[in-house]
Amino acid sequence: MGQSKTSKHYANNKASAAKHSKDNSPGGKYAHSKAYKREHSKARKQLGIGKGSNSDASKQADGSYIKENRKTNRGRGGGQKK
């Protein structure tokens, strides 16, 4: 059986193959992400926020969490600010 057009392309274009490999590798799966999720989940439990709730556990500047309306918290766009 012969090679597909795609595999021939990546065999002949090393830069393209490298980008393809980088794009398809699992990114964002790091220990600090998991630690953040664990901490956030614990805070949600302590605040009594269940799945599907309209409330968020909003992280404050001092590191504490408060129960806050989801729309208000996400409207602030903390992760998207530049």
- Cα–Cα dist 48/28, whole Å: 28
Predicted TM-score (pTM) above 0.85: no
pLDDT tens per residue across span 21-38: 988 887 766 777 888 889
Q: Which pLDDT value is given to residue 64?
A: 93
How many structural domains is the chain composed of? 1
70: nearest Cα among 48, 54, 52: 54
Q: What is the DSSP letter of 66?
A: E
Does 82 score more than 60 pLDDT?
A: no
Phi/psi for 68 (5° steps) reads -145, 155
**Domain range spanning residue 52?**
38-76
Whether 79 shows a pLDDT value over 80: the answer reads no
- Whether 51 is covered by a domain: the verdict is yes
